Amino acid sequence: MRLYRTRIPMIANAVIDTLCNDVDIDVDLEERPEAEEDLVAIMDTFLRRDLDLRDAVKDTMSRLNIPYDRYSKVRSEIAEEWGHPTGESVKKYLSRQFVENFMISNFVQEVYSDDEMLFRKILDIIRSLDVDERGLRDEAKAMVKNVNEGTVDYEIAFAEALKEVKRRHGLMPKRTK
């Protein structure tokens, strides 16, 4: 899973609304924005750590003169050292963090469901709001089909097309002129 900054408020809102509507948790209506902000803070912290991981991977690869095609392997190794979730484990990590937050939050008056039930519901919500990365890449590929694959021009054109596709889907901020 890739967590997009633009999706964070939507995820937080969906989790709080769904769990309140299903009476899994009790949050006063006027305190729902604060409860959502707690979840936003968890996701923001995850993103900051993910950026730190990216920087550490780049530094390590540069320092050890590791070729770029080994980026994923180096990233996995460092993430494991740090205990930082990647891939599909991100959804589970965030779900656990949300459940733990509900137990200590000043904005959640009561938790009615057990941890496992909350975890499964939150995981389902996050999964439903996950982005189809493969679909985005396929859409971007279709935009650059007139450029020869495997060339530098293709890589540049594909990267730009992917950014444009992500902008259209609301995953990146619009371009400012």
| Tens digits of residue pLDDT in 49-108 | 999 999 999 999 999 999 988 999 999 999 999 999 998 899 999 999 999 999 999 999
- The pTM is what? 0.83
Question: Is it the case that residue 154 has pLDDT exceeding 80?
Answer: yes
From the list 92, 116, 118, the residue with the least C-alpha distance to 105 is: 118
Bigger pLDDT: 76 vs 174: 76
Q: Could you give the C-alpha distances from 17 to 122, 124, 127, 154, in angstroms and in order?
A: 11, 14, 16, 43
Q: What is the DSSP letter of 29?
A: G
